[in-house]
Amino acid sequence: MSLNLEADVSLQPFNTFGVATRARYLAYAHDDAEVGEALQAAKRLQLPLLVIGGGSNLLLTGDVEALVLRMASRGLRIVSSQGDAVLVEAEAGEPWHPFVQWTLEQGLQGLENLSLIPGTVGAAPMQNVGAYGVEIKDVFAGLTALDRHTGELHEFTLDECEFAYRDSRFKREAGRWLILRVRFALARSGALRLDYGPLRQRLAEQGVSEPTASDVSRAICSIRSEKLPDPAVLGNAGSFFKNPLVSAELAEHLRTEHADLVAYPQADGQVKLAAGWLIEKAGWKGFRDGDAGVHRQQALVLVNYGGATGAQLLVLARRIQADIQARFAVSLEIEPNIL
């Protein structure tokens, strides 16, 4: 057996909130064989197996009585190339942003709008990660996952993943599927997605009139660095709440009371509201209770100023949810996984 089990391990370095909790056991899986060994070890120890990537979408509210498995598999490859269409594959343990940069170095486009997102490749489909007008589902070409119930490998198509806004089959069936590698359909040329948020403005400020995919990536890195705190400096998990979907009637009612309401009509008739706008309008931006707080520059981000527990951060989140419900009749859904 090559899998190394460490007992009673601090998880503080393994979650971007920097919450100080401990795991009963910790192991690293560098390949499929070690994933299988971890499943057997958890069964032998009569403990659940908790799989984590970069810990960037996680709030730990206490010690973890489980075998925590960090995916540490590595590997980037071009699977096929036909004209402008290129299929690439990455192992689950690959850090996401370096993977995006690798695709750009290969002259490929499609992932540039997802630059500087923390986490790993294997975790990205779980949440159907998205930013600046692009989601994983838009460039997804397939993935290989292990069925933890049967021990068999399964190849997933786009439809089988059942992607939705910050959601997927893998998130809804938590504990069953362990993602091993993911494939993406990229291109050597084509139209870039430039119309979301302040992207065009930032490119203009940088003097870029005919942007390449690398230009888009640099602009988005610049925007994200200004808006979102670096987890290495200030503990956070990025956007803590999903942008809520509401009826057109409720959105129109809110607009009569708030002319500056930030809202985006959807194809199905619903309206997506900006959760950050709601939280800031309610006065929570910059709020701090001990070491748990709301970021001063981005109301959508909860932060740990150093010594906050996961339970304290969750209490703050619940207070914000209750206030937004009372003020606007809008339910905010928490985006990170709560353990």
In the residue annotation, 73 being an active-site residue is answered as: no
In the residue annotation, 247 being an active-site residue is answered as: no
- The one catalytic residue in 73, 115, 168, 239 is 239
In the residue annotation, 239 being an active-site residue is answered as: yes
127 vs 174: CA distance, rounded Å = 11
- The one catalytic residue in 37, 94, 135, 335 is 335
Q: Which amino acid is at 279?
A: I
121, 176, 115, 189: which is closest to 145 by C-alpha? 176
The two beta strands, 6-10 and 22-29, are antiparallel
Q: Token pair for residue 6? A: 């460490």
- The one catalytic residue in 24, 70, 166, 218 is 166
Question: Which residues belong to the active site?
Answer: 166, 239, 335
